Structure 1
Amino acid sequence: MTFSSPGFLFGFMPIVFLLYFFLPARSRNAFLVLASFAFYFVDAGLVSVVLLGSVVVNAVIGNALHRMPADGRARALLTVGVVANLVPLIYYKYWNFMQRAVLDAGTALNMPGSSTFSDIVLPAGISFFTFQGISYIVDIYRRDAPPAPTLVDFGMYHTLFPQLIAGPIVRYAELVNRIEHRPIRLEDVHAGLLRFCLGLAKKIVIADNVGVVADRMFGLPSDQLGMAAAWIGLLAYTLQILFDFSGYSDMAIGMGRMLGFKFPENFNQPYRSQSITEFWRRWHMTLSRWFRDYLYIPLGGNRAGPVRTYVNLLVVFILCGLWHGAAYTFLLWGLFHGLLLVVERLASNRFGQAPHGFGGWLMTLLLVMVGWVLFRSPSASVAGNYLAAMLGLSAGQTPAVAWAVLTSDKLLFLAIGSVAVLVPEDWRLTVWRLTDRSFAAPIVSLGALALFCYSAALIAANGFNPFIYFRF
C-alpha cells in the first residue's frame, strides 16, 4: 500500500488516525502494531512473517544484551544478532545476484557454469527495517539506549507504518522518550498534516509529472537518443528522484508528528551542495548517518591514517550502492561516489584544496547527475550508451514522437522543480516560520488543502506510481 494510493488516502489513513486519536493512551501502541502489520500485509502477504521474525528476534536479543555486561559473551550475542538480521536480507535481496555474479565471473574466466535462480519475492522495506533492527541491538550493546519496555512497545517502534517501507531510518534512541508517553497535541496534528500535504504534492505534482519525461527519454533505444534528449531526460530524473523520495519522507515525518513522534529529517536541499562530501550530509541523511555510525567508524573511520580512510570510504559506499539494489549498476554508483569522496579527501589532505562556491556547486551537481545515470539505468551497457549520448558521442536522432512528451505542463513542472531545489535556505526557513504565525496559519492551511485537492485530482486522472525507494 503506497501513501499516494486512493485506498491509503481515503481509507486506511483517516480510519487509523481517527481510531488512534480516540483510543486510550495505554492501548495506542498495540493498535499501531496491528495497524502497521495490516498496512504491510496488504502488499507483502505471507512474507510479512519476515517482519514478524525481525520484531521477535531483535526484541529478545536486545533484552538479553541489556542484562549482560559488555564482555565477550555480549559481543558474541551481538554478532549473532547482526547476522540474524542480515541473513534474510542477503537471501531475499542478494541471493540471485550473487549466483549471477559467480556465473558472470566464470564466463569471464572461460569457466562457464549453470545455476537455477529462485523465484524470490523481495519483502517491501526489508533494507530499512533490517538496518533499524541492527541499530537497535547495537545501541543497547553500547548502552546508548535501554531496551523497549515490552514486546508490544518494540513492535510498535519497529513496524511503525509511516517509516516502515522507506524510512527515515529512525533509531530507537531518537524515539525512546515517546514510546510510552506521547500526548496528542492539536498543533502537532496541524503541522503534521501540512507536512503530509506538501510531501504528497512533491510526489504527485512534481515527481510523477517529470518522471514521465525521464521514463520516455531513458526508454529510447540508443540510436534514437540524441544529446539534447539525454540531458533533458537526466534533468527530469534528477528532479524526480529528489521530489519522489523527499516527498515520501515529508509524508512519513508528517504522519509521525500527527502520532506524537518527531522523526529525523532526511533531506536538506542536497542539490545546493558545493562538494560530494556535503551532498552526502544533505541527501538521505538518516542512511548516511547509519553507515557512518555503524560501519565507517567501527572500520576505523579516519583514525588509522589516510590510506585506511580511503579504503573505508570505498567499502562503505560500495555497500551503500548495493544496499540500494542487487545490480551491477548500483555497485558502480556506490563505487563512483566512493571514489569521488576519496578524491575530495585526498585533495584536501595533500593540497589543502576543497570545492566551494559556484564552481564547486556546478561540478558537484554535474557529478551527482552522472551518478544518477548509473542509478536509473537497467544495465551498465545502457548507462554507457546514455552517457555517450550526453557527450554527443552517439549519432542518435530523437524522433518527434519522443519530444511530444514535453507538453506545456511538463515544461512548467520541470521549471518549478528546477527553481524549488535551488531556493536559498533562508527563504525556505522564512516560509516555515510563517506557519507558526497566527495571521498566516489560515492561508497556509488553505494552501495545503489546495495542494491536497490538486494532488487527489491528478491521482484520479492519471493514477499513481509507487515511490522509487519502495523497491529498496
Structure 2
Amino acid sequence: MVFSSLTFLFFFLPLSLLLYYVSPKKMRNIVLLCVSLVFYAWGEPVYILLMLFSAFTDYIHGLVIYKYRNKQPLKAKVALISSIVINIGILMFFKYADFLVINLNQFFGTEIALLSLPLPIGLSFYTFQTMSYSIDVYRGQVLPQKSPIALAMYVCLFPQLIAGPIVRYKSIANELHHRTWNSAQFVEGINYFSIGLGKKVLLANNIGLLWSNIQSQQTSELTVFAAWLGIIAFAFQIYFDFSGYSDMAMGLGKMFGFNFPRNFHYPYIARSVTEFWRRWHISLGTWFRDYLYIPLGGSKSGKYITIRNLFIVWGLTGLWHGASWNFIIWGLYFGLIIAIEKAGWLKIMERWNPILQHMYLILIILVGWVLFVFEDYMQGIAYLKIMFGFTSNHLMDAQFLYDLYTHSILLVILIIAATPVMITIRKSSEKWINKRAFNFTITAILLVYYQLILLLSIAYLVDESFNPFLYFRF
C-alpha cells in the first residue's frame, strides 16, 4: 500500500485515526503497532516476521548493552557488534546475496543458483533505524526502551516505514510514551500531507510520464536536446516523488503526535555538490556522517584519511540504494566530486558568480542522475554520450519540440516549486501589509490552497493509473 492510493486515503488512514483516537492513551502504542503491521502486511505479510525479529533483536541487545556499558564495557561492545552483525547480515542476505552470486558467477565462471528473494519493502530504512538505536544506547545518548511494544512500534511505525525519513530513536524517544494532541498540530499534519501528496501525484507523476516516454526511445533515434530534457524530467520526478513522500510521512507523524525530521530542504538551489547533499535525503546523509564518517576519523585526520573516508561513505551510500554496479559508481562519483570540492575547489568557486555556481551544480547532478537511473551502467554511458554530442544523433527533432511545448507550463511550475520563492514573497510582503490582516488573509488563502491540492490529487488518482513510487525498490 502506498500513501498516494485511494485505498489508503479513504479506508486505511481514516480507520487508523479513528481507532487510534478512540483508544485509551495506554493502548495507543499497541493500536499504532497493529495498524502499522496491517499496513505492511497489505503487500508483504510474510516479511512482518522479519521486521518484528529486527525490532525484538535490538530490544534485547539494547538492554544488554545498557546493563554492561559501564560495569563491563567489553560485554557491551560484544553486544553492540552482535546487533550490528545481525542487522547488516539480514540486509546483506535479502538485498545483496544475488548481486554477490551474479558477480561470483561472472568472475569465476561458476553456476551458483540465485536465491531470487523479493526485497522486503523498507528494509534499508528500518535496518538503519534499529542500528542507530543500539549504537546510541552504547554511546550513552539514550536510555534503553523497557517496553518491547514501544520499540516495535518505533521500528514498524507506518508513516516512515516504507521510505523514511530515517527517524533515529533519540529523535522521538520521548514521544513514544508522551505524545500530546492539539488541533493546530493535526491541521499542520494535514497540510504537510496535502503538499506531499500534490508533489507526488500532480508533479512527480506527470513529469515522470515525460521521462518514461523519452527513456523508452531507441538511443539511435534520441536527439541531444531530448536526452537533456529527459534527464531534467527525471531529476524533477525523483525529487518531487521522494520529497513528496517525506512530506506525507511528516504530516502523518504530526497527525499521530510525532515530529519527524525534515528530509529535504530545496536541494536544487544549492551552489555546490557538498551543499546539495546537505539538503537532499538529510536523514540518510546525517546517519552516514554520525555513524560512519565521524567514527572513521571524519576530516580531522589529514587529507588522505579524509579522502579515504569520503570514498568509503559514498561507496556505501551508493550500495545502500541498490544491489547494482551503477549505484556504486554513482556513489563513488559523488565521493570524488565532494573530495575535489573539499580539496580546494570550493574556495575557487566562491569567487564565481552565483549563477555560474548553480549551473555547475545542476550539470554535476544531472550527470549523476544518469548514472543512477540506468541499472546497466553501459546504457548510462551511452546516454551521456548522446547528451554531450559524442554521437551522430541529431540535435533536435519535431518530437522534442512537441514534448517541450506540451510540458512547458509544467516545467515552469516544477522550477518554482523546487525553490523557496513563494516563502520569500510572503516574507517580503509582511513589511508592507498590516500584519494581522496579512496573517488572516494568508491563512484563508492557504486553507483553500491545501484543499485544492488535495482535491486535485484525488481527482488525478481516480483517473490515472501511472502512480509509481521510485524509492520502493531501495
TM-score bin (small chain)? over 0.9
Q: What's the CA shift string for 1:85-106, capped at 9, x where partnerless?
A: 1111101110011111223334
**1:377 has 2:371 as partner:** no
C-alpha contact 2:325 2:375 (8 A) present in aligned 1: no
Q: Who is 1:175 aligned against?
A: 172
SS of residue in 2 equivalent to 1:209: helix
Offset of residue 440 of structure 1: 2.9
Residue 194 of structure 1, aligned match among 191, 194, 198: 191
> What's 2:66 paired with?
66
59 and 231 in structure 1: CA distance in 2 versus 1, 3 angstrom threshold: same
TM-score (norm 2): 0.93
Residue number in structure 1 paired with 2:225: 228
1:344 aligned onto 2:341? yes
Give the CA deviation at 1:354: 4.3
Q: Which residue of the partner structure matches residue 29 of structure 2?
A: 29
Q: Residue 244 of structure 1 corresponds to which residue in structure 2?
A: 241
Q: How far apart are the structure 1 equivalents of 2:222 and 2:455?
A: 37
Deviation of residue 69 (structure 1)?
2.3
Query: What letter is aligned with 1:469?
Result: Y
Q: Residues 204 and 464 of structure 1 are in contact (CA less than 8 Å); yes or no, is this contact kept in structure 2?
A: no
C-alpha distance in 1, partners of 2:311/2:20?
Answer: 45
Q: Which moved more, 1:69-78 or 1:356-365?
A: 356-365
Identity rate, percent: 36
Change (3 A) 1:432 1:189: farther
Distance of 1:344 and 1:175 partners within structure 2: 35
Could you tell me how far apart the structure 1 residues matched to 2:210 and 2:451 are? Answer: 27
Q: Distance in 2 between matches of 1:48 and 1:464?
A: 28
Is 2:120 the partner of 1:123? yes
Q: Residue 257 and residue 230 in structure 1: after superposition, are their counterparts in 2 closer, same or farther (change >3 A)?
A: same
Q: Which of the residues 317, 321, 325 maps onto 1:324? A: 321
Q: Describe the SS at the equivalent of 1:455.
A: helix
Deviation at 1:244, TM superposition (A): 0.5
Q: 1:457 to 1:115 in 2, by over 3 A?
A: same
- Residue type of the partner of 1:456? I
- Tell me if structure 2 keeps the 8 A contact 1:347–1:353: yes
Amino acid at match of 1:13: L
Residue-by-residue CA offset, 1:58-100 (whole Å, 9 max, x unaligned): 1111111111124111111100000111111101110011111
What are the within-5 Å matches in structure 2 for residues 91-130 of structure 1?
91-106=93-108, 112-130=109-127
Change (3 A) 1:239 1:428: farther
Q: Are 1:153 and 2:113 matched, yes or no?
A: no
- After alignment, is 438-447 or 145-154 more displaced? 438-447
What's the Cα RMSD here?
A: 2.2
Q: How big is the shift at 1:44? A: 1.1
Residue 466 of structure 1, CA deviation = 2.9
1:422 deviation in Å?
3.2
Aligned to 1:109: none
Which sections of structure 2, spanning at least 5 residues, go unmatched? none
Runs of at least 5 residues in structure 1 that lack an aligned partner in the other structure:
107-111
> Given residue 284 of structure 2, which amino acid in structure 1 is its aligned partner?
L
Matches within 5 A, 1:282-301: 282-301=279-298
**Which residue matches 1:353?**
348
Distance 1:333 1:52, change over 3 A: same
* Cα separation, 2, equivalents of 1:340 and 1:64: 42
CA contact (8 A) 1:328 1:380 kept: yes
User: Is the CA contact 2:210–2:403 (under 8 Å) kept in the aligned structure 1?
Assistant: yes
Q: CA deviation at 1:418?
A: 1.7
CA distance in 1, matches of 2:200, 2:377: 28
Verify the 8 A CA contact 2:264 2:280 in the aligned structure 1.
Answer: yes
Question: CA offset at residue 403 of structure 1?
Answer: 6.5
Secondary structure, counterpart of 2:46 in structure 1: helix
Cα deviation for residue 425 of structure 1 reads 8.1
C-alpha change, 1:72 and 1:354, in structure 2 (3 Å) is farther
Larger displacement relative to structure 2 (43-52 or 439-448): 439-448
For residue 204 of structure 1, report the CA deviation from its aligned partner. 0.6
Contact 2:193 2:247 in 1 (8 A): yes
Q: Which amino acid aligns with 1:33?
A: L
The question of 1:368 aligning with 2:365 is answered yes
| Alpha carbons 1:226, 1:395 under 8 Å: kept | no
The 2-side partners of 1:404 and 1:353 are apart by: 40
Contact preservation (8 Å) 2:264, 2:281: yes
Q: Of 203, 208, 218, which residue of structure 2 is paired with 1:206?
A: 203
- Structure 1-normalised TM-score? 0.94
> Which digits, 9 at most, give the CA deviation of each residue in 1:47-66, with x for residues without a partner?
22111111110111111111
Q: Determine the C-alpha separation between the residues in 2 that align with 1:432 and 1:329.
A: 46
**Which residue does 2:450 correspond to in 1?**
448
Name the count of aligned residue pairs: 464
Deviation at 1:322, TM superposition (A): 0.6
CA separation in 1, counterparts of 2:451 and 2:273? Answer: 37
1:55 maps to what in 2?
55
Amino acid at match of 1:52: L
Kindly tell me: are residues 228 and 401 of structure 1, through their superposed partners in 2, closer, same or farther at Cα, counting changes over 3 Å? closer
Distance 2:115 2:151 in 1: 33
| Structure 1 residue 365, shift from structure 2 partner | 1.3
Aligned counterparts of 2:144 and 2:422: Cα–Cα separation in 1 = 38
For 1:344-369, what per-residue CA distance to the aligned partner results, in whole angstroms no more than 9, with x for missing partners?
A: 11125xx9534562222210111011
Is residue 224–residue 399 contact of structure 1 (8 Å, CA) maintained in 2? Answer: no
- Secondary structure of the residue aligned to 1:262 is coil
| Cα shift at 1:406 | 5.3
Paired position in structure 2 for 1:279:
276
Q: What does residue 87 of structure 1 align with?
A: 89
User: What is the letter of the counterpart of residue 49 of structure 1?
Assistant: L
Tell me the residue number matched to 2:9.
Answer: 9
Q: 1:137 to 1:199 in 2, by over 3 A?
A: same
| Mapped pair 1:390 → 2:375 | no
Flag as ranges the 4+ runs of structure 1 deviating above 6 A: 431-436
